[in-house]
Structures are given as structure tokens and as C-alpha cells.
């Protein structure tokens, strides 16, 4: 029996019984493309066997570096964007309490972890500098090249603060660079200054990188057990190998979402019922969006956090345009539960719940929402996770990684590249006057003048 439970029982009115058997041949072909490396983007499949083939010596260095950070720092500033940010942030939130960074030092199992370089907001950087204040801190800069604008600017700013506080020699001991093994501006700077370095593997794209040093060092710095994280991913990688959609829930999920997509369901909402799983949805959106959104094809990935968003999005989901798929990640057993207090007056009308717990009500809300939305014409699938442990997170990460790879091949695209991401960067570089973009600068200047004249 699979560790995660995938429930597609509510799809009866949306997917005909013959449709899964009919798509099986395509799933088998997609599996062969993925496993044999015959599909597009095969050079970026190293994540597939990563839970078993990761560098064990480097893994020990990560654990040792995390211990050092916990011993000499109160704060770890993690600098990165995209896959160099979302995976780590998702895992830190998933594995810790909602107010983890606000807990007293003697109550937290690790350091405070904060993130920079994921935007170009000056107020955010200002506020983060103030938040750190005079606390001891270290930096984990994550960048393959070292020249991506957002993290490069943030690194200059926080490195300057580090040097002012400790001096250059001591500051260099507090900088951990996760970057390319051999080349790039950050690798060059790290070698010159003696930063401890960890490797972003060449065959693992950013959105698949959370189980590499990109995610592992920040996660370990919070005191989380990254060995169990990798164990969960390893067991998941063994679970989801059979191409038969009746025996492989990750492939079944990929097949069903493609069947629905071909019927006009073009937006997928990933939903959860726990506030500290919001960032899991953000990680999932990059994984799905960058993997599938190309060649004018792909399901648009969106998200909602229930029950909160039922009071803002619920009306649209229930009765709006019928192009939505809902996929729920449901936590079956939270770390804590709370009894609903008894009151004699019953002014709030909650007497009928006085023998229930908050989680029991939350679960009934989930069940009621599924029934209502299914009746309203929205296909709903659920991935049940037993708890919010490191093991469960590793299992869940791999489930979605292998699912989107199969889903991409089913849709006839390369699930491992992201050519469209460079378009905005090139325009930004040109408008900022970066050397080498002179021709594009002239073109953009002319376009902007034309717009202003109109």
C-alpha cells in the first residue's frame, strides 16, 4: 500500500471509465522517454535518481555546516530566486510552526531562516536589514552563475553588512555559496575568498533542486532531519516506477489531469487546509508552470489556501467559468489538535460542535467543499499525506516531480527547459544598460517612444 493516498473517486462525472485505459499506451511511452532518456531534455533528469545517487560526502558537509551556523548565528540569510528560493522556503515552512522565526531562541531547534534576492523590492531589503539588526548571522548565497540580477544585488548588500560587522576574514567564514562546480562568477568569488561551497548539479534544473544542497542547507539549518527527507524521497522514487496507471498514483494523476485538460479544464488549483503549506503551493506552481507552460500549451497552475480562500474565491470556484481542476493536498494528522471549548450561553451557535476538535471541523469542511465543488462542475482530486514530517515531505516532493515529467511528455513538450524565462531578463538588461545589449536597447527605446506617443 502506497504511503500517500491518491483519491480520484470524485471524477466519475468528468472522466469516462474507458479513458484511463485508452491513455495507458501514451503513459507507457512517456515513461520510456523518461526512464531511457529518449525524450526531450534528457540531460536534466538527474533528479530522477537523486534520492539514491546524491553525493554522500557533500551531504555530511552540509550537516556539518548547518551545525556551525546553528552554533555561531541567530539568523541565516538565504539569497536566491526561483528554484533557488521556493524549494527551501517551502520546506522550511512545511516542517516548522507558522511562527517559527518568532519563537524564543531556546524553543527553536535551529536558527531563524530568512530569504532575500527573490525580488527587487527596496523596502523589503530595508525591513530585512532592520530585522537582523545586531544579531549574529550567516549567508547562504545560491546561484548557478552568480550574475542573476535579484540575488546578485541582495548578496552585495548583505555581504557588505556582514563585512562591516565581522571584518572581511571572519565574514568569509560565514558565507556559504551553493553554485556551479567549476565555473561562473560566484564560483570564482567563492574560490578567491575561501567561502565554503556546495554544488548545484548540472543535470538538475532549478525547480527540481530542493533535494540538492540548494534546499538541504537551509532546511538543515532549522534543525530538520534531512536524512529522513531523503529517505522519504528514496522510498517515493521506488514506489512510482510502474508505468501502469492502476499501480502508480503519480502517473495516474498525470494521466487524469491530461484527460481533463483535453476537455477544456485549463487551470489547476492546488489547495491545502494548513497555513504553513502555502509555500508548498508556490513551489508547486513553479514546478508545474515552468515544466508545462510552453508551445502555447499547458495547464495554468494556481493555488488556494482553505478555508481562508473559500471566503474570497469560493464563489468563483463554485459558479464561475468551468475550466478549473482542483487538486487538494490534505494533511490527515496534524502535529497538534485543539478541543473546541464548551460554553453554556451558545450565543455563537457552536454548541453542536462542543464535542469536536478544530481539526475534525477542518476535515468536515474539506469533505463538504469537495462535494459542493464536484456538484458545481469542478473535478476534484486529493493527495492525502499522513503528517508533516521530513519523510512525508520528501515523498510528496518526488510524487509531484515525477508526475509533471510524465505529464509534460504526454502533452508533447520538453518538461525540463524554460526558454520563455529569458525574455523578460533580456529586456530588463537592455533597459538597465547592461553591456552587450545595445541593439536590444535601441529597439526597446523605439517601442517605448511609440507607446508614449500613442
Final residue belonging to a domain, choices 224, 254, 279: 224
Distances (CA, A) of 20 to 9, 185, 250: 13, 49, 13
Query: Among 80, 163, 86, 157, which Cα is nearest to 126's?
Result: 157
Answer with the one of 182, 208, 224 that is the final residue of a domain.
224
CA distance 292 to 416: 9
> Looking at 329-338, 377-386, 413-422, 424-433, which range is the least confident one?
424-433
Shared-domain flag, residues 311 and 386: yes
Distance between CA atoms of residues 53 and 76, nearest Å: 28
Per-residue confidence (pLDDT) for residue 443, from 0 to 100: 66
- Shared domain for 64 and 32, answered yes or no, is no
**Are residues 298 and 325 part of one domain?**
yes
Domain extent, residue 405, equals: 5-39+230-411
372 and 269 belong to one structural domain: yes
Q: Nearest Cα to 251, choosing from 34, 12, 16, 18?
A: 34
Boundary (domain end) residue, out of 178, 195, 224: 224
Q: What is the pLDDT of residue 446?
A: 63
pTM: 0.94
**Rg (the chain; Cα; Å):** 23
Number of domains into which the chain is organized:
2
Query: What would the mean pLDDT of 377-394 be, rounded to a whole number?
Result: 98
Pair (240, 203) in one structural domain: no
pLDDT of 1: 65
Q: The domain that contains 244 carries what CATH number?
A: 3.40.50.10490
Q: 168 and 101: one domain?
A: yes
According to DSSP, residue 311 is labeled: G
Q: Residue 419: its pLDDT value, please? A: 81
pLDDT digits (tens, 9 = 90+) for 125-137: 999 999 999 999 9
Asked whether residue 362 is domain-assigned, the answer is yes
| CA 232 – CA 94 distance, rounded (Å) | 15
Q: Is residue 310 part of a domain?
A: yes
Q: Given 425, 442, 443, 449, which residue is catalytic?
A: 425
**Other Cβ atoms within 10 Å of 441 Cβ, number:** 17
Whether residue 345 is contained in a domain is answered as yes
Residue 243 lies in a domain: yes
Indicate the pLDDT class of residue 415, thresholds 50, 70 and 90. very high
70 φ, ψ (degrees, to nearest 5): -65, -25
Same domain, 201 and 273: no
Would 258 be classed as within a structural domain?
Answer: yes
Whether 158 and 254 map to the same domain: the answer is no
Residue 356 and residue 254 share a domain: yes
Name which of 13-22, 151-160, 348-357, 397-406 the model is least confident about.
348-357
Residues 352 and 239 in one domain: yes
What pLDDT is stored for residue 444 in this prediction?
A: 58
**199 and 336 share one domain:** no
SS3 of residue 66 by DSSP = helix
Annotated active-site residue 425? The verdict is: yes
Which H or E run contains 452? helix 438-453
Same domain, 262 and 346: yes
Task: Please report whether residue 425 resides in a domain.
Answer: no
Backbone angles phi, psi at 331, to 5 degrees: -80, 120
Is the pLDDT assigned to residue 380 strictly greater than 70?
yes
Residue 15 falls within a domain, yes or no?
yes
Q: Exactly one of 239, 271, 290, 390 is catalytic; name it.
A: 290
CB 145 within 8 A of CB 184: yes
Contacts of 315 (CB under 8 A, 6+ apart): none
- Residue identified by cell 482530486 is 381
437 within domain boundaries: no
Amino acid at each position: 500500500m502506497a504511503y500517500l493516498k491518491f483519491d480520484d473517486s470524485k471524477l466519475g462525472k468528468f472522466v469516462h471509465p474507458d479513458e484511463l485505459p485508452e491513455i495507458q499506451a501514451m503513459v507507457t511511452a512517456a515513461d520510456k522517454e523518461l526512464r531511457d532518456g529518449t525524450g526531450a531534455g534528457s540531460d536534466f533528469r538527474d533528479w530522477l535518481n537523486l534520492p539514491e545517487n546524491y553525493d554522500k560526502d557533500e551531504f555530511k558537509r552540509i550537516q556539518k555546516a548547518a551545525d556551525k551556523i546553528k552554533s555561531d548565528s541567530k539568523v541565516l540569510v538565504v539569497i536566491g530566486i526561483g528554484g533557488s528560493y521556493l524549494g527551501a522556503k517551502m520546506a522550511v515552512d512545511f516542517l516548522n510552526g507558522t511562527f517559527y522565526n518568532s519563537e524564543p531562541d531556546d524553543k527553536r531547534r535551529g536558527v531563524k531562516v530568512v530569504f532575500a534576492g527573490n525580488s527587487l523590492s527596496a523596502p523589503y531589503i530595508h525591513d530585512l536589514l532592520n530585522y537582523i539588526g545586531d544579531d549574529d548571522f550567516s549567508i547562504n548565497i545560491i546561484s548557478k552563475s552568480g550574475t542573476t540580477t535579484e540575488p546578485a544585488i541582495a548578496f552585495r548588500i548583505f555581504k557588505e553588512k556582514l563585512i562591516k560587522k565581522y571584518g572581511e576574514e571572519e565574514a568569509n567564514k560565514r558565507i556559504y555559496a551553493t553554485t556551479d562546480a567549476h565555473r561562473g562568477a560566484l564560483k570564482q568569488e567563492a574560490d578567491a575568498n575561501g567561502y565554503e561551497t556546495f554544488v548545484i548539479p548540472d543535470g538538475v534544473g532549478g525547480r527540481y533542486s530542493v533535494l540538492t544542497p540548494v534546499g538541504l542547507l537551509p532546511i538543515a539549518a532549522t534543525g530538520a532531519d534531512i536524512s529522513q527527507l531523503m529517505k522519504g524521497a528514496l522510498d517515493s522514487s521506488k514506489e512510482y516506477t510502474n508505468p501502469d496507471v492502476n499501480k502508480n498514483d503519480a502517473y495516474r494523476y498525470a494521466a487524469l489531469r491530461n484527460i481533463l485538460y483535453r476537455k477544456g479544464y485549463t487551470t489547476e488549483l492546488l489547495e491545502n487546509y494548513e497555513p504553513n503549506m502555502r509555500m508548498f503551493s508556490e513551489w508547486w506552481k513553479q514546478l508545474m508552470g515552468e515544466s508545462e507552460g510552453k508551445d502555447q500549451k499547458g495547464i495554468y497552475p494556481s493555488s488556494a489556501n482553505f478555508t481562508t480562500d473559500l471566503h474570497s474565491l469560493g464563489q468563483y470556484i463554485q459558479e464561475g467559468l468551468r475550466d478549473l481542476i482542483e487538486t487538494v493536498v490534505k494533511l490527515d494528522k496534524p502535529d497538534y489538535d485543539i478541543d473546541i471549548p464548551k460554553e453554556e450561553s451558545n450565543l455563537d451557535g457552536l454548541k453542536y460542535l462542543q464535542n469536536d476538535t478544530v481539526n475534525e471541523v477542518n476535515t468536515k469542511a474539506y469533505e463538504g467543499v469537495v462535494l459542493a465543488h464536484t456538484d458545481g462542475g469542478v473535478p476534484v482530486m486529493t493527495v492525502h499525506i499522513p503528517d508533516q514530517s521530513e519523510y512525508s515531505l520528501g515523498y510528496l516532493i518526488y510524487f509531484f516531480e515525477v508526475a509533471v515529467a510524465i505529464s509534460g511528455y504526454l502533452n508533447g513538450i520538453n518538461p525540463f527547459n524554460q526558454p520563455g524565462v529569458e525574455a523578460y531578463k533580456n529586456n530588463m538588461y537592455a533597459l538597465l544598460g547592461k553591456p552587450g545589449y545595445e541593439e536590444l536597447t535601441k529597439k526597446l527605446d523605439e517601442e517605448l517612444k511609440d507607446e508614449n506617443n500613442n
